[in-house]
Amino acid sequence: MFTFRIPNKSPRRRAVSFAMTAISIVMLLGMASLTVDVGMMYRARAEAQASADSAAMAAAWELLDQDRLKGTLSMTTKTAAARTTAVQMAARNKIINTSPSLSANSSNDADGDIVVGYLSDPDNDPNEVLSTADPDQFNTVRVRVRRDAQHGSPIDLYFAGVFGRHTADISAEAYATFKDGVVGYKVNDNTGNAQLLPLALKVDAWDNLLAGAFTSGDNWTYNPATGVVTPGPDGINELNLYPGGASQLPPGNFGTVDIGNPNNSTADLSRQIRYGVSADDLDYFGGELELGSDGTLLLNGDTGLSAAIKDDLIAIKGLPLAIPLFSSVTGNGNNAMFTIVGFAGIRILDVKLTGSKSSKRVIIQPAYVVDDAAMTGPTSGSTFGSRYFVYARAPVHLVR
């Protein structure tokens, strides 16, 4: 009878097994450390992006405040406020329990943490270079948040030191802008009627209003909380749209326009004033009312103002609505042709179309208008968008 015996493993084989086990443990530890540290870096990157986003948004809102409506905006003051706000907001959003430290970059150097500039088509051109040439046009803030040796400190890694890596640099950037280059209107089921009045004002008169060179004073206040207009100043210049009369808008600077068929009646004007411009109105223009490639649009109209729309204008007091701006008008009466160059946000504060000519008035002031039916496009010129106050969506938003 034979007995088989399994031979003992040799010392050499046991040594190989031990070595393989040791190597496996090291590899597993390495993978574990890599997982922990990569997760840490992902978290840091996400927190840095949140910090940059919030700082850019808050800074852009600083550029877009009531001073623009008052016509007293000092861009030097506002850009300084935007930088301060960006620094403060970024610090509130910590990266791995440490607040990022941003430089205000008052020189507006292109590689700085906070750069204020202008984008003409931010929603459609992701490669457009932020221009810092003309402060009067500034509509965008770029914020870059970094954690590295030059900006606070890099991110500490827990286990990667085994492989000689003890820290990691983290960065994120965000662009926040307000796009106010409205070039026209298109109405559909989602937008509702366009918040556009058939009342046209000469662009020179608008610019003078903002500059305080030609104004009816400051005698009315709109309360956004209550939606009520009351007597009293609020710092925003006002203008009497009624043409002619003592100390009022000179003839040729105002009129009504036909947004739709040139044969629009007073009833059409009344409807548009109360309820906005409809898709049926815009069908006359092929479905869209839009400035051409040269930045203009011709509309038929009337250089006068009928007392028949008095009640309609009173009905919309206090509402933020847009009016067309024109550069020139040819013809008289209901044969007038207005060259439209933009759309401005206004609010009607007071209406009186009875009595003597010198006492008649339609008092307006600049106002912010957000309209889903509005269309935006590339803009140029220092006054096209930045002083018209009409927006196609929430004014300040992230674009990059």
How far is the C-alpha of 221 from the C-alpha of 349, rounded, in Å? 8
**The 288-290 sheet, strands edge to edge:** 288-290, 182-186, 374-376
Position 383 pLDDT exceeds 50:
no
Question: Averaging pLDDT over each range in 60-69, 199-208, 248-257, which range is the top one?
Answer: 199-208
pLDDT value of residue 50 = 92
Q: Where are the domains of the chain?
A: 18-177, 182-376
**How far apart are the C-alpha atoms of 46 and 43, rounded to whole Å?**
5
Per-residue pLDDT band for 400 (boundaries 50, 70, 90) equals confident
Count of CB atoms within 10 A of residue 171's CB? Answer: 16
pLDDT of residue 178: 81
DSSP 53-74: HHHHHHHHHHHSSHHHHHT---
Residue 210 · residue 366 · CB < 8 Å? yes
Question: If pLDDT is split at 50, 70 and 90, which confidence band does 28 have?
Answer: low
pTM of the model: 0.73
Q: Which residue has the tokens 């937008």?
A: 191
Q: pLDDT tens-digit profile of 154-182? A: 777 766 555 666 777 888 999 998 876 78
When the pLDDT of each residue in the chain is averaged and rounded to a whole number, the result is 82
CB atoms inside a 10 Å sphere around CB 195: 23
Q: Where are the alpha helices (DSSP H) in the chain?
A: 11-63, 66-70, 75-92, 203-211, 266-275, 279-282, 310-315
pLDDT at 380: 43
- What does the pLDDT look like over 90-139, one tens digit per residue? 988 888 888 888 889 989 998 899 999 988 777 778 888 998 888 877 88
- Cα distance between residue 32 and residue 42, in whole Å: 15
pLDDT of residue 382: 37
Q: State the pLDDT confidence band at 144, using cuts at 50, 70 and 90.
A: very high
Report d(CA 66, CA 64) in Å as an integer. Answer: 7
- Structure confidence at residue 395 as a pLDDT band (50, 70, 90): confident
